[in-house]
Chains A and B, each alone.
Chain A
Amino acid sequence: SQKIEQNSEALNIQEGKTATLTCNYTNYSPAYLQWYRQDPGRGPVFLLLIRENEKEKRKERLKVTFDTTLKQSLFHITASQPADSATYLCALAYSSASKIIFGSGTRLSIRP
């Protein structure tokens, strides 16, 4: 079965630096790879989606890359701020109609 690994359980970054989170998967590549943000006691919020034929996607300070050869996605937050502190979840979907599979998440803390 598909396994998703997010690089670390927790990541601490100095404000202003770029935070980089990693998502690795086994088996075959998904049609869509997504990143969500989850704050404590809240539901996840969709951030970005990247398709298997796309290498990179950007949205404001966020950037996602997708390397199907390495079976890896990188999620970058540039000019990080304390308000970016949250848990970030990587999720895979194999078609537009399938369920999505979540990684265990990386808890990101941005210190002032």
Chain B
Amino acid sequence: GAVVSQHPSRVICKSGTSVKIECRSLDFQATTMFWYRQFPKQSLMLMATSNEGSKATYEQGVEKDKFLINHASLTLSTLTVTSAHPEDSSFYICSARSVGVNIHYFGAGTRLSVL
């Protein structure tokens, strides 16, 4: 199956710093990527839909200035958590959708801990 690489897998940072997470589709082109957040024992919460070459579409309640998304190429999308605070600590997961069929291939996730 298609492979999606997400990096880093874990990051610990101080409050107030910004953190960038990368999501790459390794063996296919992804015109659309998705960013999710997941709290312990809960399901995935969609944060935003990222389209190559255009602005991301954010879900209701997600601050676009807080979670900056860039999808500059067909294989790379980035999520930057700006001025991170402890309440931003969570598990962030990206997915990329294959063309034609709505199957999502997920990255391994990034565990963000903000001190």
Binding site for B on A (CB under 8 A): 31-32, 34, 36, 41-46, 49, 89, 91, 93, 95-105
Contact of A103 among B43, B101, B105 (CB under 8 A): B43
Contact between A102 and B43, CB atoms less than 8 A apart: yes
Interfacial chain A residues near B49, Cβ < 8 Å: 99
Extra contacts besides A49-B103, A102-B43 (8): CB < 8 Å: A36-B106, A43-B93, A43-B95, A46-B104, A93-B102, A96-B100, A98-B102, A101-B46
B103 touching A43, Cβ below 8 Å = no
> Which residues in A have their C-beta under 8 angstroms from that of B1?
46
**Among B46, B103, B107, which residue has its beta carbon within 8 angstroms of that of A99?**
B46
B contact patch SS: strand
Interface residues in chain B, defined as those with a beta carbon under 8 Å from any beta carbon in chain A: 1, 4, 6, 32, 34, 42-44, 46, 49, 91, 93-95, 100-109, 111
Is B111's CB under 8 angstroms from A97's CB?
Answer: no
Given contacts A42-B108, A43-B107, contact A100 B102 (CB under 8 A): yes
CB distance from B5 to the nearest CB of A (A): 11
In the assembly, what is the distance between CA of A104 and CA of B39, in Å?
A: 11
Min CB gap B48→A, angstroms: 10
